[in-house]
Structure 1
Amino acid sequence: MTTNVATVPSTGARVATRPAIAFFALLLLAYSVNAMDRMVFPVLLSDVRAEYGFTLDQSGLQSTMFALGMGITGIPAGIAVARFGRRRLIVVGTVLFSVATVLTVVSVGFADMLAWRVLSGVGEALQLAAIITVAAGAFPRHRGLAIGAVNMAFATGSVIGPLVATALLVEHGTWRSPMIVFGLLGLVLAVAVLVLVPLRFTEVGSPERVVETADSRHRGGAGSVLSWNPMLLAVVTVLFGLVDFAYIGLYATFLREHLGFTPGQAGLAVSLSGLAAFASPLGGWLSDRLDPRLCLALLNVLTAASAAALFLGPPTPGWHAAFSFLFGLFASSGMYVALAGLLVKSVRPEIAGHASGLFITCIYVAAGVAGYLLSRMVTLLGWNSAGLIQIAGLSLVGAALSVLLRPALFSSIAAPGKEAS
């Protein structure tokens, strides 16, 4: 029987360094399995489509509908984190996406499979909002770095997952095999988190464990996500979602259909962008140390410059491989991590979960329309103009908005001796 968060004494006790890192590593492993599930389904989609007779449009919806689940659940997930506790939400989220993964293999048609894909996104939103909040609470001196580690865990799963799925597909001859394996692995990790990760680690900084003092009231951070800094960061996050997911969704199509790249050449460029996500802790480190205005403005400008190079540069595989890597470095490892970290820092610790949920909703609602918006502009203006306007142009708008942030209103680091690490 688990202990309710509210009954845990507000002693302020923290977990020692090595156990804290071990507990955090287990949470990251659970998130990596989530990444495996998300990246595996598109790899298996051709087999799914052949069996069920889905059209190309239907297949595309099945592949991306997790984003809808994440988008509609983000803000409620942030509220639930504060209400029900972080560990509980991590376990519930892990169970939800794992069960949805297993249920996908028994789908009878398009509608119920689509429902399972949406449910997997709901589970991921619950899990991610809670893990980001844990990272910020357990490692307050290095919140950006810890959140960067979360993104790196996703990158690890996205690399390992397709490789393992392909091996299982070849071994067993059915797309259902990897889905069942990853689903069951997620359930095992949910139990491991429940049994092995203590509340004194996951709930650090939660409302029930915060004792307000005169000092804590002056450490900064807004008391509501509706304040200036959180709302401005939310707008910048929406813009970034329109940038990053437009690239993720259609850049490979641009290479193959407009520039005439082979599948192997296009795949190399895209994979190098994903490889850059392993530098996510560096993006978090920058957000911990730089003025938030400078950090976001710089990363946005570098993202815009990389995008401009992709759409204006020579149509050679080497050029696109290099600048695709740089785009991933500045966008996935930089902007994504910095925005998540700064949104958490923009509010008081007791509502960090609200900020995490706001980040998830903003970026994944934008993700749901990013590809459609770019495709419409491509039809009207052509690939180069559309890419420059949406991917490079919106990044520059984000850079301009970033300078309007108020650094003095961000929460400061914890007092010495108050951190798990």
Structure 2
Amino acid sequence: MIAIILASVRSWFSETRGAAQARIAAGGAPSLWNRNSVLLTILCLIHGLSMYGFLGGYASFLQENLHYTPTRAGVVVGFFAIGALASIAGGWVGDRFSPRIVLSAAYVCIAVLGYLFFQMAPSTLTREILTCVYGVVGSAVLYVSLAAYHVKSLRSSLASKGSGMFVTSLYGGAAFGGYLIRALAGHGGWLFAGVIQMSLLCAVGAVLALAVRPSEMTA
């Protein structure tokens, strides 16, 4: 198959050098130290703390407070991955709408979910639905969009640095997410932990996202 492609596909079909060169100067900051990259780095830290705090602590909440078996708790948390399967559609949303709208709306949704997750009343089915919704919003939309906007905030020659900053900042927050939510739960209970680490942090993120400047990103 590789030999057939090499023999039959012409360079004019697969290589668009002129268009690529034209895009080099089409927006984007010349260094990592710019308004959008700084804001996105903070937003990634927030998302890492909230999302991985949830993933690291929710099963413990279900087992300790609602007496779920490990298998049952694992099934509920697993619905996050089902929601994450919508990542292709989530990427389309990130490209189709303004970064301000996408990011702010996603953080507001997570802030609401953070409050609902640690209530005692919801049934198992309700928790599965909420967790799936979080997978869609937190992974398919927000995770994908943050990665894309980091790259779009810089000139194409700095795309790899933008990707690296995304990974470093998001997983930098993720590294402490589980420890923090557990410490907060030990201090004031799981609802308190969810409100602080998910609802409050993501509310701050929603406000910060409004300061992003789409006009300074590449097309």
What is the TM-score with the length of structure 1 in the denominator?
0.47
Identity of aligned residues (%): 33
Match 2:167 to one of 346, 360, 367? 360
* Rounded Cα–Cα distance in structure 2 between residues aligned with 1:408 and 1:397: 22
SS at match of 1:224: coil
Match 1:256 to one of 41, 63, 71? 63
Per the alignment, residue 293 of structure 1 pairs with 100
Per the alignment, residue 36 of structure 2 pairs with 229
Per the alignment, residue 282 of structure 1 pairs with 89
Task: Provide structure 1 residue ranges, at least 5 long, that are not aligned to the other structure.
Answer: 1-12, 17-199, 413-421
Conserved in 2, the CA contact under 8 Å of 1:237 and 1:362?
yes
Match 2:155 to one of 340, 348, 372? 348
* Rounded Cα–Cα distance in structure 2 between residues aligned with 1:225 and 1:260: 47
Determine whether 1:308 maps to 2:115.
Answer: yes
Conserved in 2, the CA contact under 8 Å of 1:210 and 1:350?
no
* Rounded Cα–Cα distance in structure 1 between residues aligned with 2:141 and 2:31: 25
Quote the offset at 1:216 in angstroms: 4.8
Quote the offset at 1:370 in angstroms: 0.9
Quote the offset at 1:265 in angstroms: 2.2
Determine whether 1:377 maps to 2:184.
Answer: yes
Per the alignment, residue 62 of structure 1 pairs with none
* Rounded Cα–Cα distance in structure 2 between residues aligned with 1:236 and 1:323: 22
Quote the offset at 1:367 in angstroms: 1.2
Per the alignment, residue 7 of structure 2 pairs with none
- 1:110-125 to 2 correspondences below 5 Å: none
Conserved in 2, the CA contact under 8 Å of 1:237 and 1:359?
yes
Conserved in 1, the CA contact under 8 Å of 2:27 and 2:155?
yes
What is the TM-score with the length of structure 2 in the denominator?
0.88
- 1:64-75 to 2 correspondences below 5 Å: none
Per the alignment, residue 320 of structure 1 pairs with 127
Conserved in 2, the CA contact under 8 Å of 1:221 and 1:348?
yes
Change (3 A) 1:407 1:256: same
Per the alignment, residue 388 of structure 1 pairs with 195
**Cα distance per residue 1:202-255 (max 9 Å; x no partner):** xx89xxx964x6x753x2111111111011101000000001110111111111
SS at match of 1:312: coil
Question: Which structure has the larger Rg over C-alpha atoms?
Answer: 1
Quote the offset at 1:365 in angstroms: 1.2
Task: Provide structure 2 residue ranges, at least 5 long, that are not aligned to the other structure.
Answer: 1-10
Per the alignment, residue 137 of structure 2 pairs with 330
Quote the offset at 1:15 in angstroms: 6.1
* Rounded Cα–Cα distance in structure 1 between residues aligned with 2:109 and 2:82: 18
* Rounded Cα–Cα distance in structure 2 between residues aligned with 1:282 and 1:210: 26
Quote the offset at 1:14 in angstroms: 7.1
Quote the offset at 1:381 in angstroms: 0.9
Change (3 A) 1:14 1:318: farther
Letter in 2 for 1:318: L
What do you get for the CA RMSD once the two structures are aligned?
Answer: 2.2
Change (3 A) 1:350 1:343: same
> Which runs of at least 4 in structure 1 moved beyond 6 Å after TM superposition?
none
- The alignment covers a number of residue pairs equal to 209
* Rounded Cα–Cα distance in structure 2 between residues aligned with 1:307 and 1:14: 51
Quote the offset at 1:316 in angstroms: 2.1
Conserved in 2, the CA contact under 8 Å of 1:280 and 1:337?
yes
Of the two structures, which has the highest relative contact order with CA contacts closer than 8 Å and spacing of 6 or more? 2
